Structure formats: C-alpha cells, structure tokens
Structure 1
Amino acid sequence: MIIKTKSLLVNSLFLLLLLCSSKIVAQKTAIKIGIVGLSHSHVHQILGRENIGDIQIIGIVEPNRDLAERYSKMYNYSMDIVYNTIEEMISVKKPDAVTAFNSIYGHLKVVEICAPLGIHVMVEKPLAVSLKHAKKMEKLAKKYNIHLLTNYETTWYPTNHKAYEVLKSGKVGELRKVIVRDGHKGPKRIGVNSEFLEWLIDPIQNGGGAIMDFGCYGANLVTWLHDGKKPISVTAITQQQQPENNPEVDDDATIILTYNNSTAIIQASWNWPIGRKDMEIYGVNGVIYQDNDKDFRIRISEGYSGYEEESFKLDYRKPPFNDPFSLLAAVINKDVVLKPFNLSSLENNMIVMEILEAARKSAKTHRAVKIKR
C-alpha cells in the first residue's frame, strides 16, 4: 500500500513537472508579433484568430485612430498597444516579427526599418509594388538575415497542395498548360472598407489594379508548379470595365506565360460575377481541377473526349501549414525550413514580381516581354 502511494505521488509529480515544462516551452516559442497597418481587410484574419499560443500580438501601428478604435471594439484589444509609427512600436514593444497590413507601397518602408534590427517580416500579397522595391527588400532581407515571407490566401488551400502532389506524381503526365482564375466583382462592389479602397484603386499605392491584386496569385502558383523556373516571355492585356469604380487602374487582366514545353494563363479580374480562386492543370494524359479550397477533381483521358473522373472533398491542412501566422512562428523557431520556391518564400515572390513587372510593361506596349533567365 505504501509502495502504491509513493508510486502515485511520483507519477503526480512527474505529470506536474511535465505540464509546467510544456507551459515554459509554449512561452518560449510564442512569437511576439507587431501589426503594421490596419487598412488591409485581411488584417481580420490575425485580429480574429483563435489564441493557440504560437504568436502574441504585442503592438499595432495605425495612425488612423478612428480605424484603430473601431477594430479595438470589434476585437477587444487595448488602445494602449496602438502606436503612430513603426519606430515607436518597435522601441517600446521589441517584436520578433511584424506582419504588414498597410498599402503595398508601404511594404518597402516596413522592411527598411525592421531588417537592420533583425525583425522578421510577413507582408500580404504581393511582395511589393514594383520589382525595384522588391529588389531593395530582397537585398535588405539577405544582408540582415531575416525571414521575408509573403502571405496568399491560396497558400493554405489543401486543394492546391493536392494538385502539386498529383502533378509531381506523374498521374496526369507531363505539364502542358495551367489556367488560374482569381478575383471577384470589384473592391467597391463587394464593399471593402473605405481605408482599404482608398489605396487599392491607387496606381501608386497598389501598383495597378486587378493585374497586381489578383495577377499575383496566379504568378505565385505557376512559379511553384514549375519548381521556380522563370517563363520565357510574358504577354498581358488589361481592360477597364468599371471606369466609374476604378478610374485610375485596370480592373481586368489576362496574362500569358510561355515556358519551354508549357503555357500558363492567368485570368485576374475585378469583374467576375462570382468570386473565385480556382485552377486547372493540364498534363499529357489528364487534367487536375482545383475548384476551390476543398473541392478537387482528376480526369484521366479515355479516347477522344472520354475520361475517368475522381472527386475529392479535402480537409484543411494540419498546423502549422494551415495558417500564415503559425507558419511564420514555426519558421522563426526553426521548426520548419521552407523548401526552395515555396509559395511563401522570397525566391518565389521575386519571380512573381518579375512576372508582374513584365505584365504591366506588356499591357502598356502591346508586346510580349522577354524574361532574363
């Protein structure tokens, strides 16, 4: 009986120590995050995120007090953590990383301030407003050895990762064509907040319209599917179908990328009647359909127009590959090492910027633009 009591006591002490050590580990690995800007509506993803212990929001930079107060009531954060400048927030809060939810033009300034201090950065797509800005950001990230990640909604779609897996397995044969379609009815028509709309339809602050806002998705995915290979040429056509809503920028873009043995077509638009983020991948022997975040199909050719189809309903990916901020924490903690040309990686997104820069030039000159390889 005494032996059992001692055994129970030892086990209880062991469990207590285990729980305490787990809490210590969680505290050590929680990444201190500063949020730069609240105008980008994607900021709701981090503000409304469940607290799972991998990140801690310690400061917010937003000079627009009305916007900051509106969100503070919505998400119950204290206005004491809101600062007017990045420098002030960093000086007081000393974050491990910042997430940028300001204008795309503002991404460069975030990196210019954070990189020399060793503060990691995650920006919302696209990486930068121009290739010139992107190159400056890349140089700073490499010089000061920080992680510079780009977040896309589609990175977390299990269907995109299933598509990559099936393509690389050879099931549909060698890649021949990719068609990526992204967009919605337009920022004003879907009712984005005024602070977001103000810079989203500004050619300086956003770098363009739909060609930047949604063209980046396709460029990111296509670069990943081609394992980081650059296209040979880029041809783009843009239109302005809603001049009353988007007076200074394009709102519809078609971008054609040519590779040695394949073609990619990116259809980016603020004129879809129904919002979409889908993709078709054509191999020699079949087609992969990524219909949305969860619906996925494979068709294998039979004869002239026949096919055998498999359909899947996929579950979300497991942490930390289901959430941008979990991945950011895992990368900083060295729990995850990103593969070359990963969707979030700097290598991939530098090629994305080359493609977008060439696409804007092509649309302006009405000529195909060669890519330096």
Structure 2
Amino acid sequence: MIRRLVLLFSICILAQAAGAQTTSGKVRVGVAGLVHSHVHQILGLNGKSIEIVGIAEPNRELAERFVKQYKLPMSLVYNTTVEMIDKTKPEAVTDFGRIVDHLQTVKVCAPRGIHVMVEKPLATSYADAKEMAALARKHNVQLLTNYETTWYTSNHHAYGITHRDKAIGDVRKIVVHDGHQGPKEIGVMPEFLVWLTDPATNGAGALFDFGCYGANLSTWLMRGQRPTSVLAVTQQIKPDIYPKVDDEATIVLTYPTAQAVIQASWNWPYARKDMEVYGQTGSVFTLDKSRMRIRRTEKEAEQALEAPATAAPAADPFAYLAQLLRGQTKPDELTSVENNLIVMEILDAARQSAKTGKAVKLQ
C-alpha cells in the first residue's frame, strides 16, 4: 500500500514538472520559408523566448546561406512545411514565405493544432483571409499577423493618450505614412524582390506592402470599426523598376465621424513609419518607435514626448508569441484575426478602387 502511494505521488510530481515545462519553457517554433527579409529577426532572436526546431525551405542555397550566417545546423532544414512539422513537432509556425502562401501554411498547421504567425499582411485577398480565419477558429489555434509597428511604444502610447486619457477629444482624422525609397533601391535580397513585386504573390505593390500598416493602425484607433467606404489612387512612378505593380498608393477611409488617410510609398526620400492622430481638441503624432509630439488644445504649445518602454505589449513579436502561448499576456488587437480581417477587406476594396477609379462602399 505504501509503495503504491509513493508511486502515485511520484507520478503526480512528474506530471506537475512536465506541466511547468509546458507553461514556462521556450516555445518550440518552426519557420516556414526564408524568402522574406524579416526572417533575419527571428533567426537573430533564436534561443531567447523561442527555440527554432525546424526550417522549411526548398531553396538549399538560400538555406545554407542563412544557417551559416546564424551558425545553425543544416539538419534543421526540410524541403516542405509538412515534413518539418512531422519531424520536429513545433508548437507554432512563423511564416516567412510569400504572402500568397500564408493560406497553405494555415491549412497545414491549423488541423494539427499548431499556432501560426504570418508576416503582414495576412493574405493577398479577403477571401483567403476569411478561409484562414475560419480554419484557425475551427481548430482553436492562434492566427497572428506581425507588423513592425505593433512593437512601437509610440503607437501604444498614442492610443492611450487618445482613448484612455481622452486628451485630444474624439478622433476626427488619422494620417499614416509608411514606406521607403523602394525595395530594389534599398537592396533587399533577390529572393524577396522577385515575389514582392509580383501582384500574384504579394497582392499588389506599395498598396499592400505598406498600405496594410495604415489599415491596421486605423482599424485599431477606430476601435474595430469598418469604414463605410474606401477610395484608393495608385501610380507607377518607376515602371522601369516595378513594371507589374504600383509603387505609390494613397487610401482614404471614410467613417461616420472620421477619415483616415493612408500614404504608402516606395518613393519616400527616406524610410518612415509615422502617424498623425487628430481629435476634436488636439493632436498626437508618432515620429518613430518611441518619439512623439502632443498638442492637447489650440491654446497649448506642442510638447515632445518619449513613450515609456512598457507601452508596447512586448519587446518583439516572438517574445509576445511565447508569452501569449504560455498564458502570460492577453491577446493584442493589432495582431488579431478580427483586426486583420478588416485590414484585408480594406486592401481588397482599395485594389478594386484603384482599378476602377471609384470609391468602394462596404456593406
């Protein structure tokens, strides 16, 4: 009897230890694709909050280049996502492939109970985005969209000033600027450039590549409202460099009591990701990751601000992913399926508007 009790006690202790490891250990992550330049971030952060257990990349030369740079074993690399998942059993997969391939990644991962984080935007079409969301909900997995600006403390502090502090009155206009001189001009790797400048694999040019940031932030600042209409104008200022896609885009979102103007460009003289939020009585601007300006009223002088380091939900997307899967943080709206379904509805409508020259009303 005593031996049996000791055995049962030992089993309980082992079970508790296993549970503790599950909730506190590094998240086992698989990487689907290496053709997106943002993959450098996760490779550089491997071993901190996450552990890369496998990489799916059929281009062996590209894979060898990355594993050599980050001192990883080539044994981590598999030809397909299915093979990588079956062999390594990750808890989550981060997709650094072509945007058009995001749907297939979710089709592979969701039925196996594997969480997915994709690089922005969520998909190349609203139809694909809805199918991805349905799969994630059916199989009860996280489907997250990663934007660089989600981890900007300035954006979260601006949101707090606007909605928590109510320091500038109700939102009336949002203006978001995103982009750089152009992907070829800044020297992105050729494996990235080839699909980024193809409408079939990226959805559009600057319209999708940088318009998604403004759609994401505007939806968040408008507290999940869908716009009533979407109007977009696109241009090919550099058709000799980008013959298949736009390199200049402006999107205007109309809400019942506000407007958002999204300026996405591969023609800025320098890289930028900044935002202006105007309320009934004042304004708050984000200048970069942490620097800001606020003017609460017409009579008050503008003030420079530095956003607190704790304003963002995490220091980086993979720390956030680990904390979320371990139950150590609450879901963030900017990465959420709900927000990013609206983003894709906006981008789909913007693409249609740019083709027809007419505003698209959202029913």
What TM-score bracket applies, with the shorter chain setting the length?
over 0.9
2:290 counterpart (294, 302, 306):
294
- Partner-residue secondary structure (3-state), 2:249: strand
Hey, what does 1:337 align to over in structure 2? 330
How big is the shift at 1:302? 3.0
Hey, what does 2:272 align to over in structure 1? 276
Computed over aligned residues only, the root mean square deviation of the Cα atoms, in angstroms, reads 1.8
Task: Give distance in 2, aligned partners of 1:27 and 1:319.
Answer: 22
Hey, what does 1:183 align to over in structure 2? 179
How big is the shift at 1:300? 2.7
Task: Give distance in 1, aligned partners of 2:81 and 2:170.
Answer: 48
How big is the shift at 1:316? 3.5
- Partner-residue secondary structure (3-state), 1:317: coil
Cα distance change on mapping 1:361 and 1:65 into 2, 3 Å: same
What is the number of residues matched between the two proteins?
346
Q: Deviations over 1:206-264 (max 9, x none)?
A: 01000000000000000000110100100000000111111100010000000011000
- Partner-residue secondary structure (3-state), 1:301: coil
Q: What residue identity is the alignment partner of 1:103? A: R
Q: How does 1:1-373 map to 2 (within 5 A)?
A: 25=21, 28-49=24-45, 51-52=47-48, 54-168=49-163, 169-302=165-298, 307-317=300-310, 321-338=314-331, 342-372=333-363
Task: Give distance in 2, aligned partners of 1:39 and 1:242.
Answer: 24
CA contact under 8 A between 1:362 and 1:369: conserved in structure 2? Answer: yes
Task: Give distance in 2, aligned partners of 1:361 and 1:59.
Answer: 39
Q: What residue identity is the alignment partner of 1:348? A: N
Q: Deviations over 1:158-206 (max 9, x none)?
A: 0000100000121111110000000000010000000000100001000
| TM-score using structure 1 length | 0.90
CA contact under 8 A between 2:24 and 2:326: conserved in structure 1? Answer: no
Task: Give distance in 2, aligned partners of 1:238 and 1:121.
Answer: 31
CA contact under 8 A between 1:172 and 1:287: conserved in structure 2? Answer: yes
Q: What residue identity is the alignment partner of 2:176? A: V
How big is the shift at 1:319? 8.3
Task: Give distance in 1, aligned partners of 2:291 and 2:136.
Answer: 37
Q: What residue identity is the alignment partner of 1:321? A: A
CA contact under 8 A between 1:206 and 1:212: conserved in structure 2? Answer: yes
Task: Give distance in 2, aligned partners of 1:363 and 1:337.
Answer: 37
Q: Deviations over 1:113-146 (max 9, x none)?
A: 0010000000000000111111110110011111
CA contact under 8 A between 2:253 and 2:259: conserved in structure 1? Answer: yes
CA contact under 8 A between 2:229 and 2:362: conserved in structure 1? Answer: yes
| Runs of 4+, deviation exceeding 4 Å | 24-28
Q: What residue identity is the alignment partner of 1:145? A: N
Task: Give distance in 1, aligned partners of 2:247 and 2:36.
Answer: 18
Task: Give distance in 2, aligned partners of 1:175 and 1:203.
Answer: 34
- Partner-residue secondary structure (3-state), 1:116: helix
CA contact under 8 A between 2:156 and 2:311: conserved in structure 1? Answer: no
Q: What residue identity is the alignment partner of 2:175? A: I
- Partner-residue secondary structure (3-state), 1:40: coil
How big is the shift at 1:315? 4.7
Percent identity over the alignment is: 53
Task: Give distance in 1, aligned partners of 2:309 and 2:78.
Answer: 35
Task: Give distance in 2, aligned partners of 1:320 and 1:211.
Answer: 27
Task: Give distance in 2, aligned partners of 1:213 and 1:237.
Answer: 15
